[in-house]
Amino acid sequence: IGTGFPDFIAFKPILDHKVDGFHTHKVIGVESKSNGTLDKKEKEKCTFLLKHNIFKDILIARKGEKKGKIECINFKTKEEVLIF
């Protein structure tokens, strides 16, 4: 398996919304960085993927302060996102 970008793809169901009888989902890209910092090329990729509506959101996952904790930051809004 190669080195893809983003590292993971997540699907979040949009409740009470169907199109042609199918449930709809928000598609979210997740990039894992131990320190939470993207380099210039990765930032350009995020901007491209959001601009072309490939992903609704891109989350940057990083190690939290407590052992075993993972923090997620929304690339677009720079706000922390609670996932658990």
Per-residue pLDDT, averaged over 12-39, amounts to: 88
Per-residue pLDDT, averaged over 59-73, amounts to: 91
- Residue 15 banded pLDDT, cuts 50, 70, 90: confident
- DSSP letter for 77, please: T
Beta bridge partners of 8: 30
pLDDT, position 39: 92
Report yes or no: 80 and 73 within 8 Å, Cβ to Cβ. Answer: yes
Report yes or no: 50 and 77 within 8 Å, Cβ to Cβ. Answer: no
Per-residue pLDDT, averaged over 60-68, amounts to: 90
The residue to which tokens 């072309």 are assigned: 52
